[in-house]
Every structure is written in structure tokens, then in C-alpha cells.
Amino acid sequence: MPEGREPANNTTHGNIDAESATDKELPASEMQQILLGGNVDVLLQPIVDLRTGEAVGYEALTRGPGGSRLFKPADLFEAALEEGCFHTLESMCRRRALEAKKKSLGPGVQIFVNMDPRLMPCLLGPACPTCGWIRELDLSPGEIVFELTERVFVGGDPIMLRALERCRHQGHRIALDDVGIGYSGMATMVALRPDYIKLDGYLVRGVSNDVYRRNLIKGLASYCNETGIGLVAECIETAEELEILCRIGVTYGQGYFLAPPGPGRPPLRPEASEILRRIRQQP
Ligand SMILES: [Ca+2]
């Protein structure tokens, strides 16, 4: 999995059942130290409007302590799941992402926050800490986009759909993440009607020389453009991929070729900026 490719916030393993959601007593461990010390970093990676070259938002990406075995988000969240503290870690990362929005992005720029869809039903209720943090930090609800991974999302689940409705009612936006490799596919896309669809890197990689990938994405871009959904191609890593994606109508992009994740607001790389400028000037 290439750097910058954020796993399903951030694990694809196991189930979050009632026991783990309430968190067991933590063992003395590296994970406990991370939780007690708040020892995670939040990096931001821009989501770029390919028509203008402007960042419309930034995805918050979590990293564990530098040099530790839990540096990579997949390992960090896997360990949290094993130790029964997934919920606590996820909550801490969500808080840190909102703080990063306040500190580094300011008004008018969206923060994309990964959230495990299985936690949705217990979130955003009257006593939800996330709602309290949003108020405390004085953030605009419409500038917070919750990324829900399609890897575990069950589109037709009525409990989930009610939770999403509550989320929308509060003014937040929804992105369907990792689209193209999940279980539910188009049914989820249609049931959820997300504000954004984030196309998984599996489909984006090699789009420049694969007619199957190219036409699949082209069709999806048409669907999104007709329905007002923002299509984000993730994991753009080459100039050729960027050019093709622009030409087949993909509106937004994210990936190392555009800008790697970093602290603050990482700028668009000059090579990517030049390509977008050249395409804009062409008839
Ligand atoms: Ca994501």
C-alpha cells in the first residue's frame, strides 16, 4: 500500500462490536502510552479541484509515533482493535483532525475526516463529543466532510441511513471512501447519495494505459457530473494519470503527484500545477 493511501480509517479487519466500542481496560502497552500522551500526528493532504488547481479541502491522515512499529495508520489502528481501544483512538484522531482544521485551514476550506461507518449510529447524537468539539472550536458544520469507507459500509442498513440523515441534518457532508474495492458497490453509491465519491487508488493506478480502467472512470465521472457529486481520484502518482483523469472529466484529485501529506497546508507541486495550467488553456 503506497504512502498516502489512507486505509479504511483505518483498518479493514475485525468487527467493532459492543464490547470494543465501549473499550476494555487498557493494558500497559505502547498503545496505552500513545493514548495517554496523545502521541499521534495528523498530516493534511490536499484535495485539488483539477479545473482550477485550488485545494477545496484537505484529508486528515493519522500517523503513529515516528520510528515506532505503530507509525503506519494500518498498524496503529490494527493494534487498537486488538487491544480493544479502537473507539478511543478513533475519537482522539477525530478531535485532532478538527483541531488541525481550526489551526491550519481556516474558514472556507473543508476538512475530510475518516470515520468508520460502524461508529456512525452512536455519533452525532445529543451527547456526542464530536458535536461538542465542533461547537467548541467554532467550526462550520458544512466544512466538515466525513469519509465513510465502502470497505465496510452497508448501504441499505436502515440504522446507518438514519445516522447519515442526522449527520446531513446537522449540515455535514459525506464522502464515500475507497470506492471500487468495497463490498457494496453501486448499491451503496445510489442509497447514500454522497457529496463526494473517492475513487480507490486500485482503479486510478495505471489509468493512463488501461482502457478498462479509463472507461470505467469516465462513466463514473459522467454519473457524478450529472448528479452533482464530486468525484475525487485518489492516489494520483504520475503526470500521465493526472492528464488522463482531467481529460475524462474527473473533477477532483488527491495523491503524491499533486502534493504529499504534510503539516500545515502542503502546496500543489509545481509539475502538477503546470499540467493543470496547460490543460486549462487548451480549448
Ligand atoms: Ca480516506
Q: Residue 149 is part of a domain; what is its CATH number?
A: 3.20.20.450
What was the pLDDT predicted at 184? 60
What was the pLDDT predicted at 7? 40
Number of domains in the chain: 1
Neighbours of 122 (CB within 10 A): 15
- Residue 19 in domain: no
| pTM value > 0.85 | yes
Å from CA of 178 to ligand 1 middle: 7
Owning domain of residue 110: 31-281
Å from CA of 7 to ligand 1 middle: 7
What was the pLDDT predicted at 124? 63
Question: Residues 208-226: pLDDT tens digits?
Answer: 999 999 999 999 999 999 9
Å from CA of 113 to ligand 1 middle: 7
Å from CA of 281 to ligand 1 middle: 31
> Quick one: CA dihedral 212, 214, 215, 217, positive or negative?
positive
What was the pLDDT predicted at 12? 37
What was the pLDDT predicted at 282? 86
What was the pLDDT predicted at 228? 97
State which residues of the chain have pLDDT below 50: 1-22, 26-27
β-bridge mates for residue 45, sequence order: 59
- Residue 138 in domain: yes
- Residue 10 in domain: no
- Residue 12 in domain: no
Backbone angles phi and psi of 56, in degrees to 5: -90, -15
Residue 171 backbone zone (phi > 0: left; psi -120 to 50: alpha; other: beta): left
